[in-house]
A and B are shown apart, each in its own frame.
Chain A
């Protein structure tokens, strides 16, 4: 059953139900004394349509799930299936090929046996397709019948429809919880699997990071020490990037809000927004193509022989530039939230503008600014593309910004885009790293959002 046909069926039946129910409600309305019935005709229409479409959609989802298995069972029970090999890749490949032939998809066919199986596949599919269609029609009809039996002039269709709408709203907002929950369960599950193979102590405190996705047999816990990754992440994201972003972002915000002519502000603010909208892959390309070689050459010309072309400095600098608009807009908002009376009070004492800014405005805005910086750090350490493109994959525990370093996100990408199998500790390690990253950013965001909120409320 291709997904188009049932969808058309659902829409068609629903539309028909909608129209008929509305027409019927109008006849109720005309017949009723004073032309009043309990609900508007359109609510009758929606009530009927929902009773038809919702059960149908649920049925399609269920049927889609089980139909494949039913077809397969039918095929396996057919006499042609006796020729199939017992287990293994060839068996699976033949089944897939047979299905492709049956569906008229001309993909490569390596196993001639597949042709024989195509016929049972065709039979099974048309058979279950028909069954599915028949049940669909029955369900649609039943839903329609149910709805129409209940639609009478004094039926409160509106309350029913509205209750459903409210249910849908609630469901939509549960998606957020489901996502959070999904992330947590996934990460925790894989992390536990990982800790079954590598001890958490080795992972969290080990100094050597050198996983081998191709290895088999015994797991060497010494290869999974994540300290160099944590250090690289902090060094690039929370130190180098922040050294660039905090002063530049803060000073930009201060200049724009306190000194700049409105015309300059009208131009620079959107420019900064553009800077914030540039995708990180572009920054990454910029870092790898322009900044990293430049820094390497500069370092070499100044006598640093071991300067790497994948230096932490290059990645950190570009990441800092990426974060500038973010810091600037957070600082801008925080300073703007300080009441004008503070500024006036200070200026009226004879303070100069910069004294007012440094001694009154910034201290008053500090909680907001600190919250903003925490969000910025959380962003920087979770940033992936810049470091994937400009930083290295070699773990290196060093404080020299000219050396290459790697980060948590780089390793997640490296481990998961490699060739390792799904239950290899190297693959699982990526999820454990993801878990650490998630928890750290979660904590940062959580605290930062609270601090910012409290700060905003203080001046409201």
Chain B
């Protein structure tokens, strides 16, 4: 038989093949660059935030040396609160003492750049350790915002020589600012902290969790295990699926119109914020809960029913424990989303300036992402770094939560 020449063995075919392979390489390169770009954006974002944010955990501080025995300050031996101690010391002229000592060591120009609230910190330290009144002591105290930005290389140009001079003489440096993690909001970037917002976030999240988790799990159980197949069930399903995809700001509108009308005095309270976010989180928990429950094989239900368990017992003794890791994963993801949410809270008024950390669910409060938003509006350069630092804190929390969710998912992912 003669060799049959098929069209796929011709020279023309091979010539085309070269082009097709070139197209293949191009396509692959485009795919790779799409990924590289996406990851690069992520890295760029994280890098920008980190570089800016590191500065946010520090603040420019001036060294103040005080020769206390000379100054004639004293604290009575009885127990005082910090506020009382501050009042007493202020009455004895602590402010003047601080001003005077600063002028002595740094000169009037330098002393003028000591932060107006610096004396309070001195009073706090005296309160913590009254012994220092008997000796010479040295403190690192925040500068004014002006000097801080001059030291960072911008801001008022005429302050820059002073900053340089003070730094050279060892009076000015950037120190790690522990207080950033323990203070609340303030108007001066040198004095702000995120504890207030963090605590507000925690209180809000507690409310959200307490409402969304039980309701979400119960609803998921109902829909997956008991719901009859009828129009009502369909309607509930459609509602939940849509709620999971409704823009978050709509929940803000609902919260504003409903919750704030019922509790008008609780604008900006974690209770209302938590309730609003719970409405948003609940569908997420229902959907992941249903998937987790669906993944429990029917054989386990049959087995339990076969030994005479009632349907409720089957679900609460057998199905729910097996589905729990999946439900928890979904809950954590939903909570992480709620933790990063800002828009609905903006509408229900959690954008107040809150200078003292909230101590109950009905106090005025703000949350971490809201604090970021509020600070981002400030023009002071000092706030740029503080904002980035707050973002780092928020991202760390979210990373931990998502990491936990991924861990749970991998740890408990069972193939039946």
Contacts and interface: CB of A to CB of B under 8 A. Distances in A.
B395 A278 contact: yes
A254 interface: yes
Contact of B235 (A177, A353, A437): A177
Interface stretch (A28-36, A138-146, A265-273): A265-273
Contact of B215 (A172, A183, A186, A350): A172
B184 interface: no
Interface in A178-194: 179-180, 182-183, 186-187, 190
B24 A353 contact: yes
Interface in B8-67: 8, 20-21, 23-24, 27-28, 30-35, 37-39, 41-42, 45, 48-49
A324 B391 contact: no
B202 interface: no
A274 B246 contact: no
Judged by DSSP, the binding face of B is: helix
B107 interface: no
B227 A187 contact: no
A453 to B, nearest CB: 9
A173 interface: yes
Given A281-B340, A384-B247, A413-B347, A271 B27 contact: no
A438 interface: yes
Interface in B216-270: 216-219, 221-223, 226-227, 235-236, 238-243, 245-251, 253-254, 256-258
A220 B8 CA distance: 74
Interface stretch (A6-14, A101-109, A396-404, A440-448): A440-448
Given A324-B38, A389-B376, A278 B398 contact: yes
A263 to B, nearest CB: 13
A169 interface: yes
A262 B214 CA distance: 38
Contacts of B222: 166, 169-170, 172-173
A445 B242 contact: yes
A384 B248 contact: yes
Interface string B171-186: 0000000000000000
Given A270-B406, A289-B384, A434-B249, A176 B35 contact: no
Interface stretch (A76-84, A195-203, A204-212, A245-253): A245-253
B382 to A, nearest CB: 14
Contacts of A259: 28, 31-32
Given A280-B342, A384-B343, A350 B250 contact: no
A416 interface: yes
Contacts of B214: 172
Contacts of A279: 339-342, 369, 394, 398
Contact of B34 (A175, A255, A430): A255
Given A187-B253, A449-B241, A442 B246 contact: yes
Interface stretch (A50-58, A337-345, A374-382): A374-382
A413 B242 contact: no
B139 to A, nearest CB: 33
Contact of B38 (A252, A270, A381, A389): A252
B372 A179 contact: no
A443 to B, nearest CB: 10
A252 B31 contact: yes
B282 interface: yes
A277 interface: yes
A254 B242 CA distance: 28
A352 B23 CA distance: 9
A378 B37 CA distance: 24
Among A170, A172, A273, A375, max chain B CB count under 10 A is at: A172
Given A169-B222, A445-B242, A409 B247 contact: yes
A381 B286 CA distance: 25
Contacts of A169: 218-219, 221-222, 226
A173 B249 CA distance: 23
Contacts of A285: 372-373, 376, 387, 391
Contacts of B48: 286, 289-290
A382 B254 contact: no
A158 interface: yes
Nearest to A288: B376
Contacts of A304: none
Given A168-B218, A177-B235, 17 more contacts: A171-B218, A172-B222, A186-B253, A248-B37, A273-B406, A282-B45, A282-B394, A321-B38, A321-B41, A350-B8, A352-B21, A412-B249, A416-B256, A430-B253, A434-B250, A434-B253, A442-B246
16 contacts: A177-B236, A180-B243, A183-B254, A252-B34, A275-B41, A282-B45, A284-B373, A289-B48, A290-B48, A321-B38, A353-B28, A383-B247, A412-B253, A416-B256, A437-B250, A449-B245
A-B complex: 7 closest residue pairs judged by Cβ atoms: A382-B247, A279-B340, A255-B31, A172-B218, A251-B34, A384-B343, A169-B222
